[in-house]
Every structure is written in structure tokens, then in C-alpha cells.
Structure 1
């Protein structure tokens, strides 16, 4: 009798666990995606050519947006329908964009200007010291002041 009761309790616990898991998964699939995931959907424009994006990707995105929002379940479906995203994403991440080249050129110019400024500062300091020494050399030398009534021998 006790053994049967334990079996029934364990079976009920298993059924409850399965139902709980099912409900959690269903709720997760119905939840709206995060703002970062929406940002990822926006970046799909960069991964495809303009014609491919308009003809192939945009209709799939329209299917995913129902009531102005995307759920995790529809995002999974979209992911299955979009093939080759992984390699395209890696290519885009490794590609050298114009913005990157301009940024590097700007950084190089800034570093070059800083080095030039430092060099000019050192040269100007050296020139000012030399000018000061030259001006000191042009001044007439003053005899040290002597107390009255003394004579230099």
C-alpha cells in the first residue's frame, strides 16, 4: 500500500514537472524579444545586398512582426528560414569598413600631430635657451660694486 502511494506521488510529481516545463517553454516562446535582439534584426540590412534584403529578407521580417512585436518563437522560425547568416556575419565582422579606415586615419593624424607638437616644443625650448645664452653674451659685463674708497689692484 505505501509502495503504491509512493509510486502515485512520484508519478504525480513527474506529471507536474512535465506540465511546468511545458508551460515555461510556451511562455518563453510567447515572450517578446529584447531590444538588443531588435537591434540585431535591424542589422540584417548590412548582411544582405539591397535587392536580396528587399526580395527575400523583408517578407520574412514582416511575417515575424505581428501586432508590431516579435516573439521568441517567431524569431526562432525566422532564424531557420534565413540560411547562411553565420558565415555572412563573420565576413561582415572581419570586413574593413570605410568608417574603420577613416577612424584609423584620424587616429594616425592625431598621433602624428601630437608627435609633431612634442618635437616642435623641444626644438623651441632649445632655440629659446640658445637665444637666452646669446642675449646674455651681448650684455656688457658689469663690474662688481665696490665699497667706497677701495681700489682694485
Structure 2
């Protein structure tokens, strides 16, 4: 019997394959129900005009009850956007990936939200605690307790 997670992911993948992704978003790889990759581009005039970023979604068996682990891919051919809520290791401080996650959200909805977050950015800058966070950050961004208040992200006392 298929798990709730795999049934949900199969449904989302079927919708993406049938309807396509929203403008500026492209499915790059979804060979399994553990890790998916997307490219994301902000359309129109923005600080990121002409830049394309790669997103990685990692799903555990409790998806969609719990959020996926989502981060920008950092590697030889891709970089994380310079943004006040995006660390240089690709981790994203966004409340919908943490305390405001809802099982009604889909992978496509997360992509659109992150696209909108980039589109509305007024200054290309890293989070104020970027260097410290990246030095001690866990591999999985879901293990970080981000604190969502105000313009800049803050990490609570411990990275767990």
C-alpha cells in the first residue's frame, strides 16, 4: 500500500506533468519521491532579472503533514540568490517552510512563493548572521529553528 506521502507526491507530479509549472519555474528532475529539483527565474523587472536558480526539495514520509526541506542548490553550476532571507549555503528562512507550513500547500505553491519573495527584494544582501549560520548549519535546513519576525531572519539560540 502506498504511503500518504507518495500518493500526494504522485498526484502533484501528475498535475505538473499535465498542466506544466507556473511561468518561470521548470521541473528539472523528479525521478523519485525523495528529492525533486526545479529551476526558478523571476520574470519581469527585478534585482534578479536574467538569473536562474536551482531549488532542491527533499521529502520525508510525513509530507504533506510536515513541510519539505527546501533549499537553493549551491555548486559549480549554481548559486543561491543574494537575498536577506537566503543563506549562502542555500538555506531559506521562509515561514511557509517552518511554522506557517500547511498541508494544503503544494510544491508549485512553494516555488511561486519563493519566486515572489525574490521579485519583491529591494536589496541584494545576505542575512546578517550568514557567516555564523553557514559555519554551524546542519545539512537539512528543517533542523534549524528560524525565528520569523521583522525584515531579517534570526536563528534561535541553538541549531538543532
TM-score by length of 2: 0.22
Structure showing the higher helix proportion among its residues:
1
Task: Name which one, 1 or 2, has greater alpha-carbon Rg.
Answer: 1
**Higher relative contact order at CA 8 Å, sep ≥6: structure 1 or structure 2?**
1
